Amino acid sequence: SGKIFALEEHMQRFANSLTAIGIAGVDLDQIRRRVLKAFDTAGISNAKIYFHITRGSAPRSHACNVSLKPNFFLTATESDDDSEAKTKGIAVSTHPDWRWKRCDIKSLNLLANVLARQEAANKGCDEAILVDEKGFITEGAASAFFAIFGRTLQTTALTGNILPSITRIFVIRAGNNIELETMEKTLTPQQASDADELFIASTTNDIIPVVRFDEKLIGDGKPGKYTKLLIREFRSFTV
């Protein structure tokens, strides 16, 4: 609706990831200005802004040259229409979490995510829900994962196993606004399938109800009442 959602929170996570990877010399104020300029120039009120930075250009080597000049890439495009998914809900399938141990770093290392999402798509599902070697759900291939039991909102605690989702912050805030208790707890697929309601959340899609988890319908197979309330409450952060 004509403004960038949670820009400062995204910039802070970007800065944290740059530090973790060891990419130095990035002018964050300049990046912020480029993002704002791209948004204004595109003239798209419902825009999807994507940017990334690489360490720089150099001959292939596993040991990097720390003096490289970083390369920056940015696009601003029209957001996808997710109204049907919000209204009807989506199907998800579980998949082994093959990712590395620093998923808290926002990086381009997404091969495991892509393979999981493709397998989900091959099954006719819209998202892959990743399950670690201990049998616990971490998150979606491209989303945070939430379950509702009664009036309790459950999601995985922030560790190196999941991305510190910006949208997660606002989902929890929206939950507080409608008097849902938040519990950080890992769930098994069986526990998740027994939830009253499930949903995923991401910056580009906000909150999307999950109505089928693997082969099991969630609730009555329609978006749950608290998920619909959360979608409505979340809009106050984006309009």
Strand 90-96 and strand 127-131: the pairing is: parallel
Single-letter amino acid, residue 231: I
| Number of Cβ within a 10 Å radius of residue 174 | 23
The C-alpha atoms of residue 200 and residue 96 are separated, in whole angstroms, by 18
| Number of Cβ within a 10 Å radius of residue 91 | 18
Is 37 among the catalytic positions?
A: no
Which sign, positive or negative, has the C-alpha torsion 172, 86, 11, 146?
A: positive
Give the H or E element holding residue 218.
Answer: none
Q: Report residue 172 as tokens.
A: 């929890």
From the list 88, 106, 185, 216, the catalytic residue is 106
CB 100 within 8 A of CB 109: yes
Task: Show which residues are catalytic.
Answer: 106
